[in-house]
Amino acid sequence: GAVVSQHPSWVICKSGTSVKIECRSLDFQATTMFWYRQFPKQSLMLMATSNEGSKATYEQGVEKDKFLINHASLTLSTLTVTSAHPEDSSFYICSARSPGTGGVGVYEQYFGPGTRLTVT
């Protein structure tokens, strides 16, 4: 099956610094990747849709200047948390969309292992 990697798996940073998280599709090309965040014992909240070669599309309430997304190639998307604060501490997960078998517009998503960010 499709494999998505994410780096780093965990990071601790000081308040005010920036952190970059990488998401790679290893064995397929992903024109679209997604970034989610997940708080403990809660669901995945879609933050943004990352489109190769164009600007990301952010969900309502997500600050695009704080969560910078770059999708420079068909296999790599990055999320940079700028000027991180303790409330940004969370589990960030990326996913890549792979063509499914259900027909037009039906795609399953393959998730990376996640990055646990702790801001002190």
Partner 1 sequence: GQQVMQIPQYQHVQEGEDFTTYCNSSTTLSNIQWYKQRPGGHPVFLIQLVKSGEVKKQKRLTFQFGEAKKNSSLHITATQTTDVGTYFCAGPGRGSTLGRLYFGRGTQLTVWP
CB closer to partner 1 out of 33 and 84:
33
Q: How far is the CB of 109 from partner 1 (least distance, A)?
A: 6
Contact set for partner 1, span 70-109 (CB under 8 A): 93, 95, 97, 100, 102-103, 105-109
Q: How far is the CB of 52 from partner 1 (least distance, A)?
A: 13
Cα 12 to Cα 24, 69, 88, 119: the distances in Å are 21, 20, 11, 6
Q: How far is the CB of 96 from partner 1 (least distance, A)?
A: 11
Contact set for partner 1, span 34-63 (CB under 8 A): 34, 41-46, 49, 59-60
